[in-house]
């Protein structure tokens, strides 16, 4: 039987989700909700979703089995917990939450209630990354030893019409962008055991660059450049940089090196992209084209739905998202203390998707 889905949060990213979720034959989008019920109504109408209203209205619908939480990070745990209490499974946008305690409480409560919490990024379920991970698991570069990950831009206030949340507690490049890159590195190296961070804030205020409030100045209350040295429990390390302070755009840059070569991985904020292998010993360069499905945002919701029906673990698990929050909070603590911080949680990323996994076929 297909799985009923309810979308909470009808903002910027809801278009990408609604377009895809309404195209997956295994899912039925039953309702859209938002604090702004008019915005929810408009998005429901645009995508042919039968109902819209408040969060309470949506949680009361028995046909909604999975709540897709697309609200702003500051209320992610609150909305996800309300869904869990209503007996719903949850897919949440990143980050799953802003601190260890509330995310732990959410995951523990979900276990007690017999429901699941899974979360972004689902980009790593895309064909580009699945192909890259298969190449690494096949030993094409040997055992991964080190990695370099870079994301630097002038910041999202130029294009996002409501960017304040990206520059306040729960935002900044670490919490907004870090989940993509750090989850990708955990997938390659396994769990993190220690981080050492450094960074700062480029400007005290920013100016909205698009939409009806263009020209409005707002305060920046978090570091807008964060660098970290990341050490992994099974060995290996990575250097990462997340910055909204650079006039030079350099994004989606992730290189992993092992004894047999270096792999340039696809952008972790995208679903597609090829992998370039630079093979050691003068063996040359090889481009590995992505093999697999072409779906994008919402793929993780579908994977969760199929995992629920199949009684198997979902791949983009809440525990993986919790570990990444644990790592990011440890980076923040390290910046405050001026010293390295140990990371206690441990997680194993799930199995890769089968090569022929098809989001657009009806399987339920
Ligand atoms: N914008 C992007 O390109 C992008 C990409 C990937 C992921 N995300 C993630 O998606 C999430 C949403 O981002 P966005 O850019 O769509 O933000 P947005 O501000 O455009 O939209 C958020 C929506 O959530 C609603 N909302 C806020 N609090 C609520 C509450 N308590 N109950 C119900 N609705 C509530 C708001 O009214 C708004 O409509 C964030 O976690 C962000 O990190 C955004």
The reply to whether 132 and 84 lie within a common domain is: no
Cis peptide before 311 (omega within 30 of 0): no
| CA 309/CA 339 separation, integer angstroms | 45
> Does some domain include residue 73?
yes
- State phi, psi for 341 to the nearest 5 degrees: -130, 130
**DSSP codes, 259-304:** TTEEEEEPPTTSS---EEEEETTTTEEEEE---S----TTHHHHHH
Question: How would residue 9 be classed by pLDDT, with cut points 50, 70 and 90?
Answer: very high
Residue 296 has pLDDT above 90, yes or no: yes
Centroid of ligand 1 to alpha carbon of 107 (angstroms): 21
In this prediction, what percent of the chain has a pLDDT beyond 70?
Answer: 100
The reply to whether 168 and 262 lie within a common domain is: yes
Q: Which of 68, 63, 43 is nearest to 53 (CA)?
A: 43
- Chain mean pLDDT for the chain: 97
Atom 19 in ligand 1: residue holding the nearest Cα: 11
Nearest 10 degrees: Cα torsion 261, 266, 268, 269: 160
Atom 2 in ligand 1: residue holding the nearest Cα: 13
Q: What pLDDT digit, counting tens, does each position of 101-158 carry?
A: 999 999 999 999 999 999 999 999 999 999 999 999 999 999 999 999 999 999 999 9
Q: Which of 165, 152, 147 is nearest to 229 (CA)?
A: 147
The reply to whether 40 and 156 lie within a common domain is: no
Cβ atoms within 10 Å, residue 236: 20
The reply to whether 49 and 114 lie within a common domain is: yes
Question: How would residue 350 be classed by pLDDT, with cut points 50, 70 and 90?
Answer: confident
The reply to whether 75 and 219 lie within a common domain is: no
**DSSP codes, 83-109:** HHHTT-EEEEPSSS-SSHHHHHHHHHH
Residue 288 has pLDDT above 90, yes or no: yes
The reply to whether 139 and 115 lie within a common domain is: no
pLDDT computed for residue 260 by the predictor: 97
Pocket of ligand 1 (CB under 6 A): 8-13, 34-36, 39, 55, 70-73, 75, 79, 93-94, 162, 176
Find the CATH number of the domain harbouring 248.
Answer: 3.30.360.10
| CA 1/CA 3 separation, integer angstroms | 7
3-class state of residue 249 by DSSP: coil
> Does some domain include residue 15?
yes
pLDDT computed for residue 170 by the predictor: 85
| CA 239/CA 195 separation, integer angstroms | 10
Q: Which residues contact 138 (CB under 8 A, 6 or more apart)?
A: none
Q: Pairing state of beta strands 192-200 and 341-342?
A: antiparallel
Q: Can you give the C-alpha Rg of the chain in angstroms?
A: 20
Nearest 10 degrees: Cα torsion 71, 186, 149, 122: -40
Q: Pairing state of beta strands 261-265 and 275-279?
A: antiparallel
> How much is the average pLDDT of 47-72?
98
Q: Is the pTM of this model over 0.85?
A: yes
Find the CATH number of the domain harbouring 27.
Answer: 3.40.50.720
Q: Token pair of 27, please?
A: 């899912």
Question: How would residue 303 be classed by pLDDT, with cut points 50, 70 and 90?
Answer: very high
> Does some domain include residue 353?
no
Mutate to test the pocket of ligand 1, among 12, 171, 208, 212 (most ligand atoms within 8 A of CB): 12
pLDDT computed for residue 349 by the predictor: 84
| Cβ atoms of residues 53 and 33 within 8 Å | yes
Centroid of ligand 1 to alpha carbon of 172 (angstroms): 15
pLDDT computed for residue 333 by the predictor: 97
The reply to whether 22 and 73 lie within a common domain is: yes
CA angle 321, 325, 330 (to 5 degrees): 150
Q: Which residues contact 42 (CB under 8 A, 6 or more apart)?
A: 10
pLDDT computed for residue 308 by the predictor: 98
Question: How would residue 326 be classed by pLDDT, with cut points 50, 70 and 90?
Answer: very high
DSSP 224: S
Centroid of ligand 1 to alpha carbon of 72 (angstroms): 4
| CA 77/CA 83 separation, integer angstroms | 10
pLDDT computed for residue 283 by the predictor: 87
> Does some domain include residue 323?
no
Centroid of ligand 1 to alpha carbon of 262 (angstroms): 36
The reply to whether 12 and 41 lie within a common domain is: yes
Mutate to test the pocket of ligand 1, among 7, 10, 11, 328 (most ligand atoms within 8 A of CB): 11
The reply to whether 310 and 276 lie within a common domain is: no
The reply to whether 107 and 128 lie within a common domain is: no
Q: What pLDDT digit, counting tens, does each position of 188-205 carry?
A: 999 999 999 999 999 999
Total domain count, the chain: 2
Range of the domain at 278: 124-288
């Amino acid at each position: 039987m297909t799985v009923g889905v309810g979308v909470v949060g009808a903002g910027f990213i809801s278009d990408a989700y609604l377009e895809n979720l309404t195209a997956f034959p295994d899912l039925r989008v039953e309702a859209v909700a938002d604090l702004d019920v008019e915005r929810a109504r408009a998005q429901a109408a645009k995508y042919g979703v039968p109902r819209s209203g408040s969060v309470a209205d949506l949680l009361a619908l028995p046909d909604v089995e999975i709540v897709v939480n697309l609200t702003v990070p500051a209320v992610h745990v609150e909305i996800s917990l309300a869904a869990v209490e209503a007996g719903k499974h949850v897919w949440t946008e990143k980050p799953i939450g802003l601190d260890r305690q509330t995310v732990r409480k959410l995951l523990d409560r979900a276990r007690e209630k017999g429901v699941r919490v899974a979360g972004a990024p689902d980009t790593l379920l895309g064909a580009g990354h699945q192909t890259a991970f298969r190449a690494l698991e096949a030993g094409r570069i040997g055992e991964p030893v080190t990695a370099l990950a870079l994301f630097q831009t002038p910041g999202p206030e130029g294009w996002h019409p409501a960017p304040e949340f990206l520059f306040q507690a729960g935002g900044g490049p670490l919490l907004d962008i870090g989940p993509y890159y750090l989850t990708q590195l955990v997938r390659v190296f396994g769990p993190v055991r220690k981080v050492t961070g450094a960074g700062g804030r480029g400007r005290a205020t920013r100016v909205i660059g698009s939409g009806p409030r263009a020209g409005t100045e707002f305060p920046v209350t978090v570091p807008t450049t964060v660098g970290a040295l990341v050490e992994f429990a099974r060995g290996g390390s990575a250097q990462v940089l997340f910055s909204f302070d650079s006039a030079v755009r350099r994004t989606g840059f992730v290189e992993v090196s092992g004894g047999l070569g270096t792999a340039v991985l696809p952008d972790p904020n995208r679903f597609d992209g090829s992998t370039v292998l630079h093979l050691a010993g003068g063996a040359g360069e090889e481009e590995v084209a992505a093999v697999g499905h072409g779906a994008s945002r919402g793929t993780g919701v579908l994977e969760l739905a199929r995992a629920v029906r199949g009684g198997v673990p979902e791949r983009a698990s809440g525990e993986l998202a919790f570990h990444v929050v644990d790592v990011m909070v440890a980076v923040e603590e390290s910046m405050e203390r001026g010293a390295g911080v140990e990371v206690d949680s441990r997680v194993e990323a799930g199995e890769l998707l089968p090569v022929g996994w098809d989001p657009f076929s009806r399987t339920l």
